[in-house]
């Protein structure tokens, strides 16, 4: 499929809000596949790139997850403390450097080898964020502290270890509804032969 960016012309951009993230309103001229041009408005959240990782202990067949408060989930009546894989913003670092830092801060595990899997836009209809997905094999000797996040960032993270099959079952039960976590657990289910590497 060819890139068709030439079918889109940005007419204007206006910042609506700038705080934890930036919200912009765009006006653009969009030419559809039949050649007709339409002026449309879109609101976009500008988010910096991020990374996430599935930490798996092949000896115990256990994955390391975290729970933390998520306001959007709270606002729509879902459990406020979501079960997720370790993740974080790149903050200008290379994705692998960033996820090593985030995994150590959140879980206390030091990663020896992080394997890049893929990258994905999580909500391309309204958010610019792109997430880099990783996998790493760990064992109990790699845990150098208790994790829990950074106090100065008001992180209140609880480390949760679960057998891989139990974690996958938590998708079906609705206990895990975080997209990046579902994607990595599904990857694990489809790639069990790769998990010990």
The model's pLDDT over 7-37, given as tens digits with 9 standing for 90+, comes to 899 989 999 999 888 999 999 999 989 999 9
Concatenate the DSSP letters of all residues of 42-81 into one string.
EEEEE---EEEEEEEETTTTEEEEEEEE-HHHHHTTS-SE
Q: What is the pTM of this model?
A: 0.89
Parse the chain into domains and list their residue ranges.
5-46, 50-194
Contacts of 153 (CB under 8 A, 6+ apart): none
Q: Which CATH architecture has domain 50-194?
A: Alpha-Beta Complex (3.90)
Tell me which of 51-65, 113-127, 142-156 is least confident: 142-156
The model's pLDDT over 134-182, given as tens digits with 9 standing for 90+, comes to 999 999 888 877 766 655 665 678 999 999 999 999 999 999 999 999 9
Contacts of 18 (CB under 8 A, 6+ apart): none
**Chain Cα centroid distance, residue 76:** 20
Contacts of 81 (CB under 8 A, 6+ apart): 67, 68, 69, 70, 158
């Amino acid at each position: 499929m060819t890139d068709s960016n030439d079918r889109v012309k940005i007419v204007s951009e206006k910042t609506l809000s700038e705080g934890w993230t930036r919200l912009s309103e765009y006006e653009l001229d969009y030419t559809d596949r039949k050649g007709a041009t339409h002026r449309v408005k879109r609101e976009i959240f500008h988010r910096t790139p991020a990374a996430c990782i599935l930490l798996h202990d092949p000896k115990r067949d256990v994955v390391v997850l975290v729970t933390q408060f998520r306001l959007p989930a709270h606002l729509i009546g879902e459990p406020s403390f979501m079960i997720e894989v370790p993740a974080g913003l790149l903050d200008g670092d290379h994705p692998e450097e960033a996820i090593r830092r985030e995994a150590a801060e959140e879980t206390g595990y030091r990663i020896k080898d992080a394997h890049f899997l893929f990258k994905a836009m999580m909500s391309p209809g309204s958010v610019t964020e792109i997430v880099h997905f990783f996998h790493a094999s760990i064992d109990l000797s790699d845990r150098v502290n208790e994790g829990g996040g950074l106090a100065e960032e008001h992180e209140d993270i609880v480390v949760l270890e679960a057998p891989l099959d139990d974690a996958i079952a938590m998708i079906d039960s609705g206990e895990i509804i975080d997209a990046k976590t579902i994607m990595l657990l599904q990857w694990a289910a489809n790639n069990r032969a790769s998990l010990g590497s």
